[in-house]
């Protein structure tokens, strides 16, 4: 397997070894010792699977009470995946990284705790899976506006299909102020 760094500290692109022949293919989607050897020392406690249709945009989400690291991958279909550094005081705060990932290359992205994450669907449908380092806390989630002008994410779609929660996302400035002094649990 190959692991590439990105312009965001700790955000990694994993290119697993894929073994294929006329029958199909095989790959390890996670093996603790191999991932640890490449700097992903996380302990995963929850796996999630989402199904979405073309044009859907999910995010940008971050857990602030129970920060989650995520190891994401596409099982079938294609997405443009985005990780944004919204951590107050971070040297890379306000920067983002985006990559098209799909079910045929099997690339994964490791998102450390504290980063906002989202994706938009490029194929007709997508099956998207991710491992998490902590349990989901619906009351401890923050949504950053997908189209925040300060972040300036270059999404490959113009009018995405959004959930109500994603329509109401905070600006980067609002999210940063909130994260500097979140309300008590």
Helical H segments across the chain, by residue range: 32-37, 164-167, 172-180
Assess whether 130 carries a catalytic annotation. yes
C-alpha dihedral sign at 14, 51, 159, 62: negative
Q: Among the options 35, 110, 115, 130, which is catalytic?
A: 130
Q: What is the DSSP letter of 7?
A: S
- List of residues 6+ apart from 36 with CB closer than 8 A: none
Q: Among the options 30, 61, 64, 127, which is catalytic?
A: 61
3-state secondary structure of 42: coil
- Supply the residues annotated as catalytic: 61, 130
């Amino acid at each position: 397997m190959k692991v590439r760094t990105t312009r965001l500290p700790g955000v990694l692109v994993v290119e697993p070894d894929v073994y294929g022949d006329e029958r199909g293919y095989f790959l390890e989607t996670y093996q603790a010792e191999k991932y640890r050897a490449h700097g992903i020392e996380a302990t995963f406690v929850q796996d999630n699977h989402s199904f979405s249709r073309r044009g859907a945009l999910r995010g940008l989400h971050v857990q602030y009470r129970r920060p989650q690291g995520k190891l994401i991958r596409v099982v079938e279909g294609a997405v443009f995946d985005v990780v944004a550094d919204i951590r107050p005081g971070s040297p890379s705060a306000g920067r983002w990284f985006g990559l098209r990932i799909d079910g045929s290359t099997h690339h994964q992205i490791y998102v450390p705790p504290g980063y906002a994450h989202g994706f938009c669907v490029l194929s007709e449908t997508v099956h998207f899976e991710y491992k998490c380092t902590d349990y989901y806390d619906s009351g401890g989630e923050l949504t950053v506006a997908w189209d925040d002008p300060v972040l300036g994410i270059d999404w490959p779609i113009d009018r995405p299909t959004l959930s109500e929660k994603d329509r109401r996302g905070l600006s980067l400035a609002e999210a940063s102020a909130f994260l500097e002094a979140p309300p008590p649990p």
